[in-house]
Amino acid sequence: MMPTRSLPLPGTPVEELDTPAIVVDLDVVDSNLAKMQQVVTKNGTAIRPHTKTHKSPYFGWKQMRAGALGLTCSKVAEAEVLVDGGLTEILIANEIVGPSKTARLAALNRRANVVVAVDDPGNVRELSAAAVRAGVTIGVVVDVNIRLNRCGVEPGEPATTLARMVASARGLRFDGLMGYEGHVSAPPGEKQEIVTQAMKKFKAAMDDVKAAGLPVKIMTAGGTSTYATTGAVKFVTDIQAGSYIFMDGAYLKEMSDFDLALTVASTVISRPTPDRAVLDIGRKSMNAESGLPAVVDLPGATFARLNEEHGILQLEGDARRLKVGDRVSLMPMTCSTTINIHDYYFCVRDGRLEDVVPVAGRGAFW
């Protein structure tokens, strides 16, 4: 981690920040949050943003202030980071298994409302025991497999049996159902059809659980790819979109509803040939598993290769004017996996540093 004394002061021009650095344009973040809030409000639903994207109470608070119902995360350690940051309405949209983790989850419920997803009877028993031991009540949603074939029980008898078990377990409170349909990357008509099919399964699960006499308070689903489709479904109470806050190359290829708020600033460290520039960015500061980053605002420059500590640009036309010491902004293909390898966000407005924000949940995958 960069020593605190080396961190730049507010007001520093963005071009003077040491690189590689994650630069976040706060005006664009604010506008993405406002746009999302407008749509969820219009749809009569709510948002419980997935913080897997930003892993930070700072942006979590921004989302709460913009109108979010609560926040979502995947791991107990992520929930601990959020609760330590003062956030108290959390959904862990994932299964939390094992005596230590369930005990930590129970302990968190002394300070906050941390709801968890389940898809296994043994896990329900384990959560119940942890809650009783800690003297708390843990809210639980039953994870229903509506499309992704990842975790989740099937709608109908399996979901209802598990819901009944949760509702009668000591120390647990049955809150409802979770049904994440996954990142739906498809043209609009096709996307609508995929969402419709997934929502049919979700509704069937809800109807069955209600018919068993259990109240269903939470019906949570959806992500950035489906915020408008899943979010418009009447019985869905909230969507769990995450990437919309910053966007990235993968999402901007398929939708323009939100704008790019996050780039990675880099510096040219070598100009070995007229058509090649080398940047101080590599796989240790840029995740490229879904593709190489895109060069922002530099026509004629193409990202050609990413080594461990070097990024190679192929240059044509005016881009060949690039000199050693020049800055190059890059758009990651996936923002969350790049954020997770950085210590800080450098948050700017009008080209000047406003806040240096730790990626507090970096490495909090346990």
Where do contacts with ligand PLP occur on this chain (CB under 6 A)? 50, 53, 93, 180, 183, 223-225, 240-243
Tokens of 273: 């040939």
Nearest approach, Cβ of residue 352 and ligand PLP (Å): 29
Edge-to-edge strands of the sheet including 238-239? 71-73, 89-95, 113-118, 138-143, 172-178, 218-221, 238-239
CA–CA separation, 113 and 57 (whole Å): 16
**Residue whose CB is less far from ligand PLP, 128 or 220:** 220
**Residue whose CB is less far from ligand PLP, 123 or 266:** 123
**Residue whose CB is less far from ligand PLP, 60 or 223:** 223
Residue pair 262/279 in contact by the 8 Å Cβ criterion: no
Residue pair 230/181 in contact by the 8 Å Cβ criterion: yes
- 127-155 in b/e burial notation, b at 16+ Cβ within 10 A? bbbbbbebebebbbbbbbbbbeeebbbeb
CA distances from 58 to 64, 84, 308, 361 (A): 10, 11, 30, 11
Q: Which residue's CB comes closest to ligand PLP?
A: 223
Nearest approach, Cβ of residue 155 and ligand PLP (Å): 17
Residue found under tokens 């899943």: 230
Q: What does DSSP say about strands 238-239 and 218-221: parallel, antiparallel, or unpaired?
A: parallel
**Residue whose CB is less far from ligand PLP, 260 or 328:** 260
Nearest to 306 by CA among 295, 317, 320, 316: 295
Nearest approach, Cβ of residue 240 and ligand PLP (Å): 4
Nearest approach, Cβ of residue 258 and ligand PLP (Å): 10
Nearest approach, Cβ of residue 222 and ligand PLP (Å): 7
**Residue whose CB is less far from ligand PLP, 187 or 325:** 187
Nearest to 140 by CA among 80, 86, 96: 96
**Residue whose CB is less far from ligand PLP, 53 or 263:** 53
**Residue whose CB is less far from ligand PLP, 25 or 181:** 181
Nearest approach, Cβ of residue 14 and ligand PLP (Å): 25
Nearest approach, Cβ of residue 53 and ligand PLP (Å): 6
